[in-house]
């Protein structure tokens, strides 16, 4: 009995679906509704070069989704999913919301639980301030955590956009001598750094794994992401694709030239608008992050002194820590990230510190010994912190106090009794209020700032010198390539052309580069490729630059087709490099006003103003401390005589300068760090090496400047305050 045709069709479909599912499984795709094809090579590449912070966030979202399952739909879910796709995060909008809820609950619950024992340990009654602080922090953390994918996507976008000019440059450079889009994308992926190299490899792997039938379809799917953010890059890419279909060589070259012109002009126009719109948010950041907090520091000591007898200076210090060293830096950082997220594509600097041959330059060398900078930073930091905390150790161990002057006014520690008490046990005394302790607190802050600055400076010091020398070569390289192209155009072999250019440009960085390559050829008997790219003695080892490396690779590829073809390629590259350099200088000119203002704030204005404020606070604290002991005596006398002694109880002890200065000093280090990262991001985009170098300079200089100014003002104002107190007040009972 034969099987009906409809049953044959059903069996055929079942068999077809079965083998389709098996094939999908072999490619790493989950069966069902998912259309995603995974590539083993892509996953390995992602594991090696993907940022660890992104991977940690991805795992946290997936873990939180298992604990709290929240269904997220609609436009917000689509937006979050788009952000997750941009930065290659394998999690869902539900996982993002679940992590936000879980984080907010943890902050509120754990913060409220620790809010009760902290005041009890300080000898105070539990109050609602800490509970209120953690509840507000938890509620604010919920929307902030939900925006993390947006910040990550913007950071990824900014890193990528900084490489877009270079990516078009590499694509055009390769397409000029070989009209093959797939190989051009591969060439660009090999010379770009993550994240754009990851995106370009993803384009290739999506085509290789047949997620898309052609490389053009794969590229079009990728370009959909950038249609909203960078239309100039999309247009340039389309012009490069269009050159594949031109029969005329002249029109093909014209389209490639047009592609680079479009991305360069678009970059300049976008940065022009960004620079014009930057002044308003930067003014707001300056007011909220620097001016208002420092003005608040002037009033805080007076506010504390009027809290009366119930105030504990140490408890008050804790509240100021939460405000100035936690809430304010987080707010300034959030605002700064928002400003940076709006930065358009630029011409990003290259981070050569991640190259394997550069790792040894990030260490401190003592002869044959190479030690990590973290070791020195920790040693300096620990020594200064130990010295800065010595007033607490001296008081705890019962070391007797001493004065720096004959009258006993300028004391080292100066622990005093609480307000309203003339005599108290040593364990009940509050402080330290002494000028010696206040000056030692500056050592504490100097150690923190110097150790952080030293760590970044030592890591970047030697590497930045190599990059600066390489940049000098890049600035000269357009004229060097022009000369090399002319020599090749005369029909000279590349080896002889190198020697001629090295002779012509003797004494310049470009001359040194070509001379090194020429010596490798003549003295070591190397071929052109080995003389340039040898991992031990190649000319590029001393000049690690992607632009120079790609130029030499283009030369090595095109020279196989003859000196004339190589000459044309080099002359075109010479023009491209000159155009890129011109746009880079114009972008720096656009940012000059805003950047100069911010740099002056970071280097001098902020530490100087904060140092003066701390010095004034030290004087106020000294006066209030001495006044408080006199008022306690006067209050007892007035109470015995039926006077108005109770009114004087509104006066309390001021916050010790020792505590106050440490709080302000930590804030100065934090705000300097945040503003330096913001300046580097606005000026150079994502440039970790330049950022580390600037952090090394700014954090160290600003902290030392702050400590010196604060120390001088403290001494002068305390001497002034002591003279006033001696001339206007008499000792109790006299």
Whether residue 608 has pLDDT greater than 70: yes
Whether residue 295 has pLDDT greater than 90: no
Kindly state the helix (H) or strand (E) to which residue 101 belongs, with its residue range.
Answer: helix 93-114
Whether residue 264 has pLDDT greater than 90: no
For residues 602-613, average pLDDT:
85
Whether residue 361 has pLDDT greater than 60: yes
Confidence grade of residue 666 (pLDDT, cut at 50, 70, 90): very high
**Per-residue pLDDT, 8:** 47
Whether residue 449 has pLDDT greater than 90: yes
**Per-residue pLDDT, 445:** 94
195 vs 651, which has greater pLDDT?
195
Whether residue 508 has pLDDT greater than 70: yes
Helices (H), 601-687: 606-640, 657-684
Candidate from 242-256, 299-313, 568-582 with smallest mean pLDDT: 299-313
DSSP3 helix / strand / coil % (the chain, rounded to 5):
75, 0, 20
Confidence grade of residue 37 (pLDDT, cut at 50, 70, 90): very low
Give CA–CA dist 268/274, Å, rounded: 10
Give CA–CA dist 190/196, Å, rounded: 10
Confidence grade of residue 131 (pLDDT, cut at 50, 70, 90): confident
For residues 273-301, average pLDDT:
78
| Burial letters 200-226, b for 16+ CB under 10 A, else e | bbbbbbbbbbebbeebeebbbebbebb
Candidate from 33-42, 337-346, 567-576, 665-674 with smallest mean pLDDT: 33-42
For residues 173-188, average pLDDT:
85
Q: Mean pLDDT score of the chain, rounded to an integer?
A: 78
pLDDT digits (tens, 9 = 90+) for 589-603: 777 777 787 788 888
For residues 685-705, average pLDDT:
87
Phi first, then psi: give them for residue 344, nearest 5 degrees: -80, -175
Residues 296, 299, 304, 307, CA torsion sign = negative
CB-CB contact of 489 with 563 (8 Å): yes
What are the Cα distances from residue 116, in Å, to 52, 110, 134, 413? 36, 11, 12, 30
What are the Cα distances from residue 230, in Å, to 80, 161, 471? 19, 8, 27
The number of CA neighbours under 13 Å toward the Cβ of 660 is 34
**Per-residue pLDDT, 129:** 76
Whether residue 400 has pLDDT greater than 80: yes
**Per-residue pLDDT, 712:** 92
Whether residue 104 has pLDDT greater than 70: yes
Residue in 301, 305, 313 with CA at minimum distance from that of residue 652: 305
Whether residue 634 has pLDDT greater than 70: no
Give CA–CA dist 293/280, Å, rounded: 19
Pull the structure tokens for residue 20: 């389709």
For residues 153-178, average pLDDT:
78
**3-state SS string for 104-149:** HHHHHHHHHHHCCHHHHHCCCCCCHHHHHHHHHHHHHHHHHHHCHH
Residue in 714, 699, 685 with CA at minimum distance from that of residue 161: 685
Task: Say what the alpha-carbon torsion angle 39, 42, 46, 47 is, to the nearest 10 degrees.
Answer: 60
pLDDT digits (tens, 9 = 90+) for 207-232: 888 788 889 899 998 888 788 778 88
Mapped onto helix, strand or coil, the DSSP state of residue 366 is: strand
**Per-residue pLDDT, 35:** 37
**Per-residue pLDDT, 681:** 80
What are the boundaries of each domain within the chain? 6-36, 40-157, 163-277, 472-580
Whether residue 33 has pLDDT greater than 50: no
Question: Could you tell me which residues are beta bridge partners of residue 411?
Answer: 403
Whether residue 650 has pLDDT greater than 80: no
**Per-residue pLDDT, 633:** 58
For residues 706-725, average pLDDT:
85
What are the Cα distances from residue 529, in Å, to 28, 423, 567? 39, 86, 17
Confidence grade of residue 628 (pLDDT, cut at 50, 70, 90): low
For residues 197-214, average pLDDT:
84
Candidate from 42-46, 307-311, 503-507, 722-726 with smallest mean pLDDT: 307-311
Give CA–CA dist 579/575, Å, rounded: 6
Give CA–CA dist 193/162, Å, rounded: 11
Whether residue 707 has pLDDT greater than 90: yes
Whether residue 354 has pLDDT greater than 90: no
Confidence grade of residue 34 (pLDDT, cut at 50, 70, 90): very low
Highest average pLDDT, of 236-250, 287-301, 619-633, comes from 236-250
**Per-residue pLDDT, 478:** 79
Residue in 543, 209, 131 with CA at minimum distance from that of residue 355: 543
For residues 39-44, average pLDDT:
56
406 vs 259, which has greater pLDDT?
259
**Per-residue pLDDT, 533:** 85
Mapped onto helix, strand or coil, the DSSP state of residue 370 is: strand
**Per-residue pLDDT, 709:** 93
**Per-residue pLDDT, 81:** 86
622 vs 49, which has greater pLDDT?
622
Kindly state the helix (H) or strand (E) to which residue 365 belongs, with its residue range.
Answer: strand 364-366
Confidence grade of residue 732 (pLDDT, cut at 50, 70, 90): very low
DSSP of 7-54: HHHHHHHHHHHHHHHHHHHHTTPPSSS------HHHHHHHHHHS-HHH
**Per-residue pLDDT, 669:** 93
Pull the structure tokens for residue 678: 């913001």
Whether residue 704 has pLDDT greater than 90: yes
431 vs 142, which has greater pLDDT?
142
158 vs 205, which has greater pLDDT?
205
**Per-residue pLDDT, 387:** 92
For residues 544-571, average pLDDT:
77
Report the percent of the chain where pLDDT is more than 90. Answer: 9
């Amino acid at each position: 009995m034969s099987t009906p045709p409809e049953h044959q069709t059903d069996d055929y479909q079942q068999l077809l679906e079965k083998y389709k599912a098996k094939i999908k499984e072999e490619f790493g795709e989950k069966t069902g509704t998912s259309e995603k094809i995974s590539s083993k090579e892509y996953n390995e590449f992602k594991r090696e070069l993907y940022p660890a912070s992104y991977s940690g966030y991805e795992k946290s979202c997936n873990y939180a989704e298992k604990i709290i399952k929240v269904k997220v739909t609609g436009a917000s879910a689509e937006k979050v999913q788009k952000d997750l796709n941009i930065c290659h995060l394998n999690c869902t909008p539900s996982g993002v919301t679940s992590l936000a809820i879980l984080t907010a609950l943890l902050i509120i619950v754990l913060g409220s639980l620790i809010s009760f024992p902290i005041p009890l340990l300080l000898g105070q009654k539990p109050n609602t301030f800490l509970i209120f602080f953690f509840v507000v922090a938890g509620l604010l953390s919920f929307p902030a955590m939900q925006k993390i994918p947006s910040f990550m996507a913007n950071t990824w976008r900014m890193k990528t956009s900084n490489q877009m000019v270079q990516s078009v440059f590499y694509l055009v450079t390769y397409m000029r001598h070989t009209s093959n889009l797939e190989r051009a994308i591969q060439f660009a992926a090999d010379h770009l750094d993550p994240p754009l190299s990851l995106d370009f490899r993803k384009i290739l792997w999506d085509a290789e794994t047949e997620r898309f039938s052609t490389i053009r379809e794969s590229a079009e799917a990728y370009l959909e992401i950038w249609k909203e953010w960078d239309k100039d890059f999309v247009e340039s890419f389309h012009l490069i694709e269009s050159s594949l279909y031109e029969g005329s060589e002249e029109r093909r070259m014209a389209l490639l030239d047009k592609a680079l012109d479009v991305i360069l002009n678009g970059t300049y126009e976008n940065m022009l608008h960004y620079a014009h719109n930057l002044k308003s948010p930067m003014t707001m950041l300056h007011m909220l992050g620097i001016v208002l907090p420092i003005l608040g520091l002037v009033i805080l000591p007076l506010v504390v002194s009027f809290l009366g007898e119930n105030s504990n200076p140490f408890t008050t210090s804790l509240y100021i820590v939460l405000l100035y060293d936690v809430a304010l830096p987080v707010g300034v950082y959030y605002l700064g990230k928002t400003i940076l997220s709006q930065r358009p594509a630029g011409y990003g600097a290259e981070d050569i510190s991640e190259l394997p041959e550069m790792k040894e330059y990030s260490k401190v060398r003592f002869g044959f010994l190479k030690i990590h900078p973290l070791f020195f930073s920790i040693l300096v930091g620990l020594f200064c912190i130990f010295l800065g905390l010595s007033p607490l150790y001296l008081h705890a161990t019962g070391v007797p106090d001493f004065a720096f002057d004959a009258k006993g006014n300028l004391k080292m520690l100066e622990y005093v009794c609480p307000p309203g008490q003339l005599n108290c046990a040593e364990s009940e005394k509050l402080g330290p209020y002494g000028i010696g302790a206040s000056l030692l607190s500056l050592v504490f802050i100097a150690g923190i700032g110097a150790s952080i600055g030293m760590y970044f400076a030592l890591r970047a010091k030697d590497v930045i010198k190599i990059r600066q020398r390489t940049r000098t070569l890049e600035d000269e390289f357009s004229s060097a390539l022009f000369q090399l192209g002319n020599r090749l155009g005369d029909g000279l072999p590349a080896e002889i052309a190198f020697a001629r250019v090295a002779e012509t440009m003797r004494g310049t960085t470009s001359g040194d580069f070509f001379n090194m390559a020429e010596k490798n050829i003549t003295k070591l008997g190397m071929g052109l490729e080995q003389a340039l790219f040898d991992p031990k003695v190649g000319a590029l080892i001393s000049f690690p630059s992607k632009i120079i490396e790609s130029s030499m690779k283009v030369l090595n590829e095109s020279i196989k087709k003859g000196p004339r073809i190589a000459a044309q390629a080099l002359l075109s590259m010479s023009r491209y490099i000159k155009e890129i350099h011109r746009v880079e200088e114009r972008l720096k000119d656009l940012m000059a006003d805003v950047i100069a203002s911010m740099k002056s704030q970071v280097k001098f204005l902020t530490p100087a103003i904060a140092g003066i404020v701390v010095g004034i606070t030290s004087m106020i604290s000294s006066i209030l401390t001495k006044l408080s002991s006199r008022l306690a005596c006067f209050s007892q006398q007035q109470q015995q005589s039926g006077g108005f002694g109770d009114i004087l109880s509104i006066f309390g002890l001021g916050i010790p300068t020792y505590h106050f200065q440490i709080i302000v000093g930590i804030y100065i280090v934090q705000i300097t760090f945040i503003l330096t990262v913001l300046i580097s991001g606005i000026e150079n985009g994502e440039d970790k090496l330049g950022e580390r170098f600037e952090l090394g300079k700014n954090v160290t200089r600003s902290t030392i400047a702050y400590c010196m100014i604060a120390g001088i003002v403290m001494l002068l104002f305390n001497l002034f305050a002591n003279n006033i107190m001696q001339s206007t007040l008499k000792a109790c009972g006299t």
